[in-house]
Amino acid sequence: MTTDFTITDCLGTIRDEQPLINCVTNAVTVNDVANVTLHWGGLPVMSDDAREVDDMVAGAQGCLLNMGTVSEAGEEAMLTAGRAANEHGVPLVVDPVGVGATPTRDRVAEALVSDLDPTVVKGNYGEITALAGDNAEVRGVESVGEYADVAETAMALARDTAAVVVASGETDVVATKEAAYEVTAGDAMLGQVVGTGCMLGVTLATFAAALDDVERAALAGTLAFGVAGEAAAAGAFGDYEGPASYRVAFLDAVAGLDGVDHPDTDGRIERVIEA
């Protein structure tokens, strides 16, 4: 079964495999994205120059494309990296940050999911809704508004892209063309730190690089990320006074999650739609 896994076993596989993850990501959170990759057990490389990125991706086991800061050079690098990932069979995660906010972001995001074959598409509720072609409220790179049908929307996008779709929010949704799951994990403090969405994106790339089943990798990565957020909030990695110190505790939680007692899939993953 897709949900028949433990976080501990998944983390052990990642640490054994040490997958190289090439990240074409935004300048705001590049350091946190690199650190989270390393803390899960992967090897980060942040090659974003179109002159070399195809060669770097060819030797990697995972690739993240994050359009948080859109530029012409960045668009070229993402498309070049994505084509290389598809050519060499490297799992590809697309994070269409801010799609729905401007026509430029809409165009770039559409190219990333139409011209490429992503393995996983990850976004917040608003981004996934906008990318699926429905009405969404996105201000800057933040999702606002209510999204009661996000599971159905994520499944529709999964059918359109042939990718596993992860919609992050108060309750995360993981969807394929055949089923949608709700993943109950995380803490409200994650929403007080800039870049946790970017860190979730590279988490999914790292899990997909090491685990054979993409659906399972998306569920396990989403759950592990949320559980790390809970462990940090519970003080398992030191007291925190606010968002800045919570961010440090969260990074420590990612690095040390396999040493913490935590529930696995029982009661955390619920299939809410089945085609």
Closest Cα partner for 105 from 135, 70, 130, 72? 70
Residues 8-43: b if buried by 16+ CB within 10 A, e if exposed:
eebbebbeebebbbbbbbbebbbebbbbbbbbbbbb
Is 122 annotated as ligand-binding? Answer: yes
**Alpha helix (H) ranges present in the chain?**
7-17, 30-40, 53-58, 72-88, 103-114, 125-131, 150-161, 196-210, 214-233, 243-256
Q: Which amino acid is at 28?
A: V
- 27-32-36 Cα angle (round to 5): 135
Q: Residue 10 — φ and ψ, nearest 5°? A: -65, -45
- Residue 71, annotated ligand binder? no
Contact 63, 47 (CB under 8 A): no
177 labelled ligand-binding: no
Annotated ligand binding at 133? The verdict is no
Residue 35 tokens, joined: 């650190």
DSSP string, 201-249: HHHHHHHHHH-S-HHHHHHHHHHHHHHHHHHHHTTTT---SSHHHHHHH
Known binding positions for substrate: 46, 195
Residue ranges for the known binding site for ATP are 122, 168
Q: Binding site: which residues? A: 46, 122, 168, 195
